[in-house]
Structure 1
Amino acid sequence: MADAAERDPPEVLALRRADGESRSLAASLPRLMLEARRIAANVIHGVHGRRRAGAGESFWQYRRFVSGEPSQNVDWRRSARDDHLYVREQEWEAAHTVWLWPDRSLSMAFASKGARDSKLERALIVSFALAQLLVAGGERVGVPGLMNPTSNSNVIDKMAQAMLHDTGTRASLPPSFVPAALAEIVVLSDLWSPIAEIRTMLAGLSASGAHGTLVQVVDPAEESFPYSGRVEFVDPEGGEMITAGRAEKWASDYVARVAAHRDQIRAETNKLDWLFSTHTTSRSAAELLLFLHAGMTVTKNSAPGVKVGRSA
């Protein structure tokens, strides 16, 4: 007699598979944490904190004096060496909070054949590595609704423990909260949520003046739609199922709808002066890490080599 589970509808089986993959996260975390530390260690040699001019005690650089500035800003000793006036700038040292949100919902467990990481694994690796870089630079890191901001050097362990002991619903988008005006938010999600939900999230997070970055983490199959023949597509979170008789005929419409969805997200982030980017799990995690770290130091209008909407 066939096993009872084999008689369950496809959508139930899909939900069970997704749930099982999600539960296996506990077994995967040590590997993800190790990979995050490795990437952070490789990247940190080329990064000197989120350096900028501001209040602090450490010398940063000399720059040319700008007409109209108070004369007391001039460093006369340095200026005496040549025919120009120079200002001595100190390095900004005021720590503030960066909120990281790696989407841990069921849809993030997806990984197509040949993918090195699932979307969930990639989001966690980058979140862990970014947290370590930020703490090393003197910042505080928190996870909305899960972990209070901390500057502890063991931030990766604290994040992992908070996730392991989290019994709440794994939502796709961060919970509603009011970050400080100078806080920064990084959301790593597949962002397949309806645009109305994304718009509401952005409105809430930006209301206090906080700045942020949305990264859409996707599997290569979600970019190219490499399916043909009869295929059953199941929503791992809602259980809805759609059957395509000839899936290859859906490809062009699928790509167009994905592009339209991204255009809507980009329009919303542009209104708020937030960054928006896409990241495919076939690409380097270190590449995304560098993009995020660099993007935090500047606004979209002054970021050298970083453009809103750039894929990372």
Structure 2
Amino acid sequence: MHETTSDDLPPLRERVTAPPTHRPAHPLVAEWRPATPDDVDAVHEVVRAIDAVEHPNYLATREEVEEELGYSFLDLERDTLIGFSSDGRPVAAGSVLEPPRQETLVREFLNGGVHPDFWGRGIGRELLAWQIARGRQKLSASEKRLPGWIVGYADARAPQRERLLRRAGLEPVRYFLSLERSLAEAIPGVVPTEEVRIVPYTPELSAAVHAARDEAFLDHWGSQPLSDEQWESFLSGTFRADVSFVAIAGDEVAGFLLSQVNEEDWVSQGFTGAYISMLGTTRAHRGKRIAPALLAASMSACAALGWERVTLDVDAENPSGALGLYTGMGFVETNRETGLVIAY
């Protein structure tokens, strides 16, 4: 599936019919209402419980939930929903998130779910029906002549999530692999084949790295540029500058490796280490061993801190050959995730 722009496409508002808002109803849910900024803890309780079952190696932090609910491009009244039991317990929480910079594709992300204590009772179907209806409403309001997607993800450890999404009409279109690399193994020394300096990330490089990230990811599946708000949110979260590096060619950013560290994940994942969140090389500098040099620098920095492993996720069909790069550097597959879409 490609997100190719076409001048022949009519605006999304002419291709997507806005359905009525789905009003969820379930005997175990006494109240459904939009989330408010005061619901951060309730939403985090639901999301964290889901994470602990579906992917215990990465758990959403309270700060991440608070940031999402605070995004300027998320309309809490219309784009969020939370359900409570009769005793006030949060049972389900969901949102429909449309990032602001949509240049080749308009995406509606279905986030959240049902607390595991209430799985298997039909609550998830109600929440998802509301999300899909809201996603269609948002697409139907767009004047953009672009493909439109309603997007959901399912971890391989959560087959029930994939079944739910499939039953609702989302089709699996992409697979993402989780990879892991032990730092006990020797880390190769890698030198780029052009005059490039590998330097630690500093705040002064922020704008240039942001621009390089957007350019480098243009050919990644579904990827769109990050708004300044999203970029600052990433940097203010679990981002770790001391294990993040930038490749400089002349006076421009040629590549970058940005890592996140959430020590709360270490107990559940069973080891210490960093998650490589973004790694890319700008198109003008590809094929010059910049990415492996960045990887080697970050792994060496993590090993020097006494950490045990580094992890990352990669699109199994990434056209840049990223999977081959990682396996060649000693990474092994540990899990996978499915990307599912309704396309318009």
More strand by percentage: 2
**Does TM-score exceed 0.5, indicating one fold?**
no
TM-score (structure 1 length as normaliser): 0.26
> Highest CA radius of gyration, 1 or 2?
1
Structure of greater relative contact order (alpha carbons < 8 Å, 6+ residues apart): 2
Tell me which protein shows more helix as a share of its residues: 1
Name the TM-score, length of structure 2 as normaliser.
0.24
